[in-house]
Amino acid sequence: MRHIPIILLGYGNVGRAFVRLVEEKRDRLNQDYGLNLVWTTIFRREGRYDFPPIGESDHPVIEKDGLKFGELKTGRVLNDLKSLLREAPGGVMVDGSVSDQKTGQPGYDYWKKAFSWGWHVVTANKGPLVYDYKGLHNSAHQNRCGLGISGATAAALPTVDLALYALAGADIQSVEGILNGTSNYILTRMGEGVDYAEALSEAQGKGIAEPDPAMDVEGWDTAYKILLITNASTELKYSLNDVSVKGITSISRQEVEKAAREGKRIKLLGRFERTDTGGILEVAPRAVGPDHPLFWVNGTEKGITFETDTMGSISAVGGRSSPVGAAAALLKDLINIVRQHDNKSD
Ligand SMILES: NC(=O)c1ccc[n+]([C@@H]2O[C@H](COP(=O)([O-])OP(=O)(O)OC[C@H]3O[C@@H](n4cnc5c(N)ncnc54)[C@H](OP(=O)(O)O)[C@@H]3O)[C@@H](O)[C@H]2O)c1
């Protein structure tokens, strides 16, 4: 049995879903993978909580989600982190913290410390990756650590895994993805005769769209994902400035109806296309016909298609966004990373 220390960064929707999932699957993880995940510490906005609480009899114990942990400790969290990492080498940091693409924080500083002490990182947080994919990828590589980004690249829908494992050895010539469930839901409803404002408000009412939907409907969430998928799946390393981004806010019902009369549907596509000089990265709404593999991806579903030189066109569909889907993607990356690094950390 391998005992894997876990540090959680963030304990919101995704962090909690991850803890619940691991507890639900604890026996399965033990039996099938020989893994025992050991909760160590949660870092949150205000400070850290440790498991198990030290000196339980003297200190108040918080019971939540079936777990017991100690009261909040505030102070110099990054200093605390260093001693935690040093005490328990070979662990995994699980990032479910807030995303900031402009600074990469708070994840960026935590990840750099984790790699320098030989800890792997799996993340649902896109911020540090959009901020400096290349630097973090290199840092993980130099320290022989894993960096699992499935949770940040459409989560339950396999994207990067598909490229790295199933398409290993093939040249990826293009990638096209419906990578944002909110905008796909709105476009699907518009195709059924509902106008944009009504479809958006319906999506907000169902908890599909955020109260502030800008990231999704203006195309930025799709831009982050296609950027990261391209960077992870090819030898090319782009930054956000290289992505041309247009969202769905200016799509009219007339445009959707016109596409429907031609037997097409408008989809918000994130695209990478290889060119003689590198490649093109863009996000834009496009009318696609039934011959397109993503034509049938409706509602909150997502999908991705890779065009390759030797394996033809390969698509995956599904992976509706949810904290559980994100948690499952984190767990998948964790299992695969620990398996790959088995020999090193034994
Ligand atoms: N929700 C989804 O379905 C989903 C799906 C895929 C990816 N994601 C991504 O996963 C991440 C988490 O999403 P969520 O829905 O769980 O968000 P959330 O509920 O808002 O939780 C965010 C967590 O980040 C913590 N945090 C904020 N500042 C911090 C800091 N300086 N240091 C340490 N922790 C800090 C917060 O701490 P406090 O608890 O103290 O406030 C909170 O626990 C986001 O990056 C999101 O984009 C979410």
Supply the residue whose CA is at minimum distance from atom 18 of ligand 1.
Answer: 12
The ligand 1 atom nearest the CA atom of 105? 31
- Report the nearest atom of ligand 1 relative to the CA of 15: 16
- The pLDDT, as a whole number, for residue 346 is 41
CA–CA separation, 51 and 323 (whole Å):
23
pTM: 0.95
- CA 313 to centroid of ligand 1, rounded, Å: 35
- Ligand 1, atom 19: nearest CA belongs to which residue? 12
Query: For 142-171, how does the pLDDT look when each residue is reduced to its tens digit (9 = 90+)?
Result: 999 999 999 999 999 999 999 999 999 999
Q: How far is the CA of 17 from the centre of ligand 1 (A)?
A: 11
What is the reported pLDDT for 55? 58
What's the CA-to-centroid distance between 120 and ligand 1, angstroms?
19
Strand, coil or helix: 263: coil
> Which tens digit of pLDDT belongs to each residue from 43-61?
999 888 888 765 555 556 6
The per-residue pLDDT for 98 is 97
Ligand 1, atom 2, lies closest to the CA of 323
Q: Each residue of 173-187: pLDDT tens digit?
A: 999 999 999 999 999
Task: For residue 287, give the nearest of 197, 214, 191 by alpha carbon.
Answer: 191
Q: What is the pLDDT, as a whole number, of residue 62? A: 75
In angstroms, what is the span from residue 32 Cα to ligand 1's centroid? 30
Separation in Å, CA 292 to CA 62, 177, 265, 269: 52, 11, 10, 12
From the candidates 112, 126, 225, 302, give the one annotated as an active-site residue: 225
DSSP-H helix ranges across the chain: 13-24, 26-33, 77-87, 107-116, 127-142, 160-161, 181-191, 196-205, 214-217, 220-233, 253-261, 323-340, 342-345
- Please tell me the residue having the least CA distance from ligand 1 atom 27: 45
Closest residue to atom 4 of ligand 1, CA basis? 323
Torsion of CA 281, 287, 290, 292, to 10 degrees: -10
| Protein residue whose Cα sits closest to atom 29 of ligand 1 | 45
Buried b (16+ CB within 10 A) or exposed e, 108-121: bebbbbbbebbbbb
Provide the pLDDT for residue 54: 59
Residue ranges in the chain whose pLDDT is less than 70: 53-61, 76, 343-346
Distance 10 CA to ligand 1 centre (A): 5
Say whether the peptide bond before residue 53 is cis (omega within 30 degrees of 0): no
- How far does the centroid of ligand 1 lie from the alpha carbon of residue 11, in Å? 7
Question: Using CA atoms, how far apart are residues 119 and 127, in angstroms rounded to an integer?
Answer: 19
The pair of structure tokens assigned to 181 is: 């469930």
Mutation to probe ligand 1, out of 46, 95, 98 (largest number of atoms < 8 A from CB): 98
Active site residue 225: yes
* pLDDT at 233 (0 to 100): 96
Cβ–Cβ under 8 Å, residues 3 and 36: yes
Ligand 1 environment, Cβ below 6 A? 9-15, 43-46, 96-99, 106, 124-125, 151, 155, 321-323, 326
- State residue 345's pLDDT score: 45
Which structural domains are found in the chain, ordered by start? 2-156+324-345 (3.40.50.720), 160-319 (3.30.360.10)
Report which secondary-structure segment, H or E, holds 174.
strand 172-178
